[in-house]
């Protein structure tokens, strides 16, 4: 399997006298919130990450977490449930993925773990550069992120440590439209996206 899918084939490289200076095809980065809540802090983080993506990134916010069926190995075969097939195709065509998840009862939310389980059979995360933002205030959600690290490790994902960040976001920092206005928070989220994009660009074109 090849990272970057058809994008790699259309890669354009600018040359100056001293060699290639930029790769112009956009990087596809998939952004996934682990929360289904309407005014979710994690949802606001991925929305901000999409807004603040570097110029060479095409950010896609995944919105069908709540539509995925319960993972059942008996259904993990052709034809896959439509939502699961779409999720796998999205990740397999991506250059990177960023997660932002809450912790429920000391672990990952069931719906988010369900999404991750659907990715395993398709090896959709295998060698994919991935990172997470933990927006929980007061040092929360440590166990969820320890669990996330185990799942990503088993799935063979390429965790980009420099892009994994604790960026505390208080609930009242999210306005009625689900937007985070705070400049310091936005700047930190932009930094995580930049680190992930840089890692994805370095890995682009490699074999998965
Ligand atoms: C059922 C439930 C269990 C929770 N358990 C934990 C927990 O174990 N650790 C933690 O840090 N926060 C826990 N929380 C707090 C949530 O992680 C926190 O409210 C988070 O901001 C929710 O994310 P969201 O705003 O994106 O929905 C829990 C919340 C709920 C509703």
Q: Assess whether the C-beta atom of 110 lies below 6 angstroms from ligand 1.
A: no
Residue nearest (by alpha carbon) to ligand 1 atom 6: 104
Helices (H), 21-162: 41-51, 82-92, 110-120, 142-154
Q: Say which CATH superfamily domain 27-203 falls into.
A: Flavodoxin domain (3.40.50.360)
Q: Assess whether the C-beta atom of 87 lies below 6 angstroms from ligand 1.
A: no
pLDDT, tens digit, for every residue of 90-103?
999 999 999 999 99
Distance 10 CA to ligand 1 centre (A): 42
The set of residues, in sequence order, having a beta carbon less than 8 Å from that of 85 and lying 6+ positions away, is 79
The set of residues, in sequence order, having a beta carbon less than 8 Å from that of 198 and lying 6+ positions away, is none
pLDDT, tens digit, for every residue of 35-69?
999 999 999 999 999 999 999 999 999 999 999 99
pLDDT of 16 over the 80 cut: no
Domain spans of the chain?
27-203
């Amino acid at each position: 399997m090849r990272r970057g899918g058809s994008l790699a084939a259309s890669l354009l490289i600018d040359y100056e006298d001293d060699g290639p200076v930029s790769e112009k095809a956009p990087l596809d980065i998939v952004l996934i919130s682990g929360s289904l809540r309407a005014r979710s802090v994690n949802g606001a983080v991925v929305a901000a990450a999409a807004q603040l993506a570097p110029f060479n990134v095409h950010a896609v916010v995944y919105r069908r977490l709540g539509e995925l069926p319960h993972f059942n190995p008996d259904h993990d075969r052709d034809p896959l449930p439509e939502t699961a097939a779409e999720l796998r195709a999205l990740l397999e065509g991506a250059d990177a993925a960023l997660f932002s998840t809450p912790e429920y009862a000391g672990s990952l939310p069931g719906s988010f773990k369900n999404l991750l389980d659907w990715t395993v059979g398709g090896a959709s995360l295998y060698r994919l550069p991935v990172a997470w933002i933990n927006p929980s205030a007061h040092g929360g959600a440590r166990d969820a992120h320890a669990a996330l690290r185990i799942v990503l490790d088993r799935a063979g994902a390429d965790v980009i440590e420099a892009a994994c960040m604790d960026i505390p976001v208080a609930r009242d920092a999210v306005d009625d439209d689900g937007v985070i206005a705070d400049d310091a928070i936005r700047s930190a989220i932009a930094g995580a996206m930049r680190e992930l994009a840089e890692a994805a660009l370095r890995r682009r074109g490699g074999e998965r």
